[in-house]
Structure 1
């Protein structure tokens, strides 16, 4: 009754209505993948007002039908609806509410949700002022950009992407009704957690749409016969690790945004989703063996990040293990040792002996208890023999191995104790991907990056990445020799579980002696992918090696990722330098008696 009296008196007190506060909205930064698909938004909570012209007419109609069917007739409040709610309150003893869309917007823009008489009265006055200041379309556009749908989604665009993995402009009648139904209680009618209640509410919205003429009875029946696919988790959830990684870089490049920005990135969303699916599925399968986390980084030959997974569930654990976690590389480090040896003049065919060895009081052990005796260096790498790698690093110089690793892209400090040959250095998956990229792109050093361009929504370019001249990090023949040896790893060594028929693949498994970390690092022409598995508390897994969970994640991901790339061979790199042939040096002839002699000048 108080609300009714306040409403009826508004026309009398119109000159004294409070002025609307300034409408504020913090700028947002929208991140898009290489094809323009939105992968994340950072900054302000609310999106710009919805462009109603780009939505099917039934989308806004769904909200008007269920939330405020006299929206286009009232001046900010609905006396008829308020009277109906009052009667319902008196008969049921429960509050039915009677807020119009304009009132809801006023509360959203300027007020708290406190249930007080003062707040309700102010809400009514602000609603009238909104109607006097803005058109119905503007009010509805603002409303649809700010209402909360649960699951962290503010505004219809975010909700459409979250629940249906599509822009709001592509919503079906049933999907629009589902979203409109959520607003009464985002928790109670969540289509993910409460599918039955959501479906019941959706039918109510569809009935209201028929009653208001927004759709026909036939369209209602058709909508009910086509339940939508509701995504249990947001399809872009795995990409949030990548977006977090870029957000600081974006602000460092352009400063605090004063207007909405768009960041065009290198990520390929379908490839990212494939990486997230593979990491979650395989981690779940190996959970009984202690595998609880995984990280995946995939780069193209120029260092563009095509996929980055920093963990198996961003909502539960947003810590980015792909960038920020530094773990022992295990045997995935050995290619740096072998490359140093190749550059020192050794070859894959060189015979060495797998036998007990002690270096400065340290004696490495192999994964298998037996020694293999005489093997080639190629066989030693393929089977990841620790004794050979340790002796090799000692022979070529561990400082030289560290220098080679840094040259290829390792940025962490490299220890040079005898065990470094077996991968005791702490590295991130991102820097391992940088370093391995040189093996797969023709020998060039890359710096992984994710931002191509930053622009305003109006098109003004604030940042454009400029490609640097490629730096040759590995020459031939060492490059070709390493490619040959790492192909053998996948053909007949520890990496056979990762092999994919029909592709030119090479790589290396990595396992630490205590089973705390397991890796697979592999590549083909144009794409390198590094996978790590382990536990955040650094406790051991149960006999998880690089040939098990990491290899399965790598293979599962690459099978899908390679469908989006040309099937090309691994680039061989620059031709070997031609041998230097000494040029003969001509010697001057000795003088003879027949040589002409100087004569006196003739007299003038």
Structure 2
């Protein structure tokens, strides 16, 4: 090599030295990166899941579930899927998918180094971001991994792809992909998508239709022909161009496909959300017919009606979302790198960034493209651009400040949720609180609606049937029912005043200084039993429990279907510390609505086989016998008359009659300590319903939370739909009760002889509430 002139040799030497240092640093960095990658692989490899899901693939087959009025609510849960062997999938469709998703599928070994290099160069160029995931990697992600875009997830995806390629043939991998991939409109797999979008089998698809379906996997929300036909056509044109480039179709076929007019099948009805019920049906069918039931073509008709089910779902969601609006901002769901593009390129990049996040019909998925303290621009997963200002930013004002904490900050690329409000769009967030709702027909036990949580796909745990929670004051009516059988009548006076520690009657609780009080911290003094239930006075319930005895109360309350093992054997029984589920509580209230007769919940009306023959139908309940009462009819009548007062002016649920404008409503609120659980349980003679709100991990719902504020609005909203057009019902007066003055009594105590007062002694000072221990008033014989 010719040396530079002597005057420049020192500078040249410095350059050479610097070059060596830079090369050394680059080499050291590369070696360190390789070492780190090797260590990561060594750490993750032992934790990779087994490949049973793909090596022994058993696709979900359609077990079709319907409402009582024939609306489909599920196919094996919430998926539409039809499994088709790879040999029966048209070669044109296979080629279209490979042309747009993974051109080098036949050449790579699960990971495509050339694809990675191409995507890396494109991304470094600052243009439209490109992915490099092969079809094998997508199979690994869909079957085994979460959608989070972390380095660990990407490494696991790559390692699983290598394992899958070693275990399965290319044809088997493509078969898995084309039967498993989500393609929008609740369609999983291309066979289901062909039916959903074109009402055709795969064998009848044209080149144009094949190309449109092949364009869906990248982002089924964005290029969905049902929701945005223009973007679907643009994506289809890209697929057709790729098909011609790889030699799958000729230029003439390309032109003909672009000119083809396609008939897109639009949904014929509003989707009914009954995912929790569909899963209950699936479990019941499998329990009856065995695991093969999912492949036998059974059709299950449930007892719920579409309108009422959707009313329950909407009511629950509205209440939960309203509660969430009063919670502090917890930060964006994720941050995605969003290139600085404009127009259609930015729209496509934003949609691509959201493809692995789950959208929702009420809390719409969106990514922030521009932000400032005065306004935010965000794009929905479906491509629409939304401008947010004013009240729409109320929840995130602090997150838009320059010094906002990183985990809370709203910046370009932030993934957020948007919801429609009365004033327009607003930034919201996914709720942490949960809720459940169940409604039954009292006489038959036929389920009329069931919602087990805010969102089944995120949490399939069914809180309506599986969540054991403290009942709070919603259990009080059953304690009052027990008291009626011991001579305590609705007009009996009870002292709503503090209990002295000695009166608690329990050494352990007395030693702790337990001093029960009412929710509002006030005491009303002597009031009637009827007033005590309407106002939900805790001290009245405690004195009633002392009056009749804990063992007697537990035995009687158990008649309503409550598990005795979950009922406390102390005075907290009166305050609802026993545990129940929403369904069990609904069954207990149904017994009251049914005049004292028990009923068994039923949610399946009939099951038919593939030939349409009925193979199962629950037996109809026989006519009620005179002696079939679990509790006397007169007892249920008096309890119900008091529960009616709860929904009237002065009761804790007065909002019910005020809103629905009818008198035939009965129910009870319930709020546990620190507002951990919020309940409302109630009924009309034709339907009993229970609503619950709380956190899965019990904690307070907030200072202002209560059964009246949170659960009651769900109940009212549902009843508004369920009772529409029904005339008011006046209950018949059963034998054994008689009107005395302003209230009802059992006939044998019409002229006295019942318990007239509890815990009341002559006051020492008229201005002070009585704090005498509760006294046991002997009950005269009838």
Q: Output the TM-score relative to the length of structure 1.
A: 0.67
Take 1:437 and 1:193, find their aligned partners in 2: how far apart are those partners?
45
SS of the residue corresponding to residue 347 of structure 1 reads strand
SS of the residue corresponding to residue 608 of structure 2 reads strand
Take 1:379 and 1:422, find their aligned partners in 2: how far apart are those partners?
16
What's 2:613 paired with? 460
Per the TM alignment, residue 411 of structure 1 is displaced from its structure 2 partner at its CA by: 3.4
1:407 aligns with 2:559: yes
1:29 aligns with 2:189: no
| Equivalence map 1:54-453=2 (5 Å) | 68=92, 148-150=182-184, 153-154=187-188, 181-191=212-222, 199-202=230-233, 212=256, 235-236=271-272, 238-257=273-292, 259-287=296-324, 288=326, 292-301=433-442, 302-357=444-499, 358-360=503-505, 361=510, 362-411=514-563, 413=565, 414-453=567-606
Per the TM alignment, residue 289 of structure 1 is displaced from its structure 2 partner at its CA by: 5.6
- TM-aligned CA distance change 1:556 to 1:180, over 3 Å: farther
SS of the residue corresponding to residue 75 of structure 2 reads strand
SS of the residue corresponding to residue 401 of structure 1 reads helix
Once the two structures are superposed, what CA deviation does each residue of 1:558-594 show, in whole Å capped at 9, x if it has no partner?
212223x7445265475338979xxxxxxxxxxxxxx
Per the TM alignment, residue 255 of structure 1 is displaced from its structure 2 partner at its CA by: 2.3
What's 2:48 paired with? none
- 8 Å contact from structure 1 (residues 515, 545) kept in 2: yes
SS of the residue corresponding to residue 388 of structure 1 reads helix
Per the TM alignment, residue 343 of structure 1 is displaced from its structure 2 partner at its CA by: 2.3
Per the TM alignment, residue 186 of structure 1 is displaced from its structure 2 partner at its CA by: 2.0
Take 2:481 and 2:216, find their aligned partners in 1: how far apart are those partners?
61
- 8 Å contact from structure 2 (residues 225, 232) kept in 1: no
- 8 Å contact from structure 2 (residues 184, 224) kept in 1: no
What's 2:637 paired with? 480
Alignment root-mean-square deviation, CA: 4.7
Take 1:369 and 1:200, find their aligned partners in 2: how far apart are those partners?
61
- 8 Å contact from structure 1 (residues 443, 573) kept in 2: no
What's 1:13 paired with? none
- 8 Å contact from structure 1 (residues 525, 567) kept in 2: no
- 8 Å contact from structure 2 (residues 473, 670) kept in 1: yes
- TM-aligned CA distance change 1:26 to 1:186, over 3 Å: closer
Per the TM alignment, residue 363 of structure 1 is displaced from its structure 2 partner at its CA by: 3.2
How many corresponding residue pairs?
Answer: 479
- 8 Å contact from structure 1 (residues 303, 448) kept in 2: yes
Per the TM alignment, residue 405 of structure 1 is displaced from its structure 2 partner at its CA by: 2.5
What's 1:57 paired with? none
Gaps of 5+ in 1: 1-22, 51-62, 87-91, 96-111, 128-142, 170-176, 581-604
Q: Output the TM-score relative to the length of structure 2.
A: 0.53
What's 1:550 paired with? 711
- 8 Å contact from structure 1 (residues 441, 526) kept in 2: no
Gaps of 5+ in 2: 1-56, 105-114, 120-160, 201-207, 241-252, 329-431, 739-746, 749-782
Once the two structures are superposed, what CA deviation does each residue of 1:37-89 show, in whole Å capped at 9, x if it has no partner?
22112289875689xxxxxxxxxxxx99xx95xx9xxxx999xx99xx99xxx
Per the TM alignment, residue 371 of structure 1 is displaced from its structure 2 partner at its CA by: 1.3
Per the TM alignment, residue 25 of structure 1 is displaced from its structure 2 partner at its CA by: 7.2
Once the two structures are superposed, what CA deviation does each residue of 1:101-122 show, in whole Å capped at 9, x if it has no partner?
xxxxxxxxxxx99999x967x7
SS of the residue corresponding to residue 572 of structure 2 reads helix
Moved over 6 A (4+): 23-26, 43-46, 92-95, 112-116, 143-147, 177-180, 192-198, 206-211, 213-217, 227-231, 577-580
Q: 1:540 pairs with 686, 700, 709, which one?
A: 700
- TM-aligned CA distance change 1:159 to 1:420, over 3 Å: farther
Take 1:474 and 1:486, find their aligned partners in 2: how far apart are those partners?
16
- 8 Å contact from structure 1 (residues 253, 463) kept in 2: no
What's 1:39 paired with? 73
- TM-aligned CA distance change 1:404 to 1:569, over 3 Å: farther
Once the two structures are superposed, what CA deviation does each residue of 1:378-418 show, in whole Å capped at 9, x if it has no partner?
11101000001011012112223222322222236222211
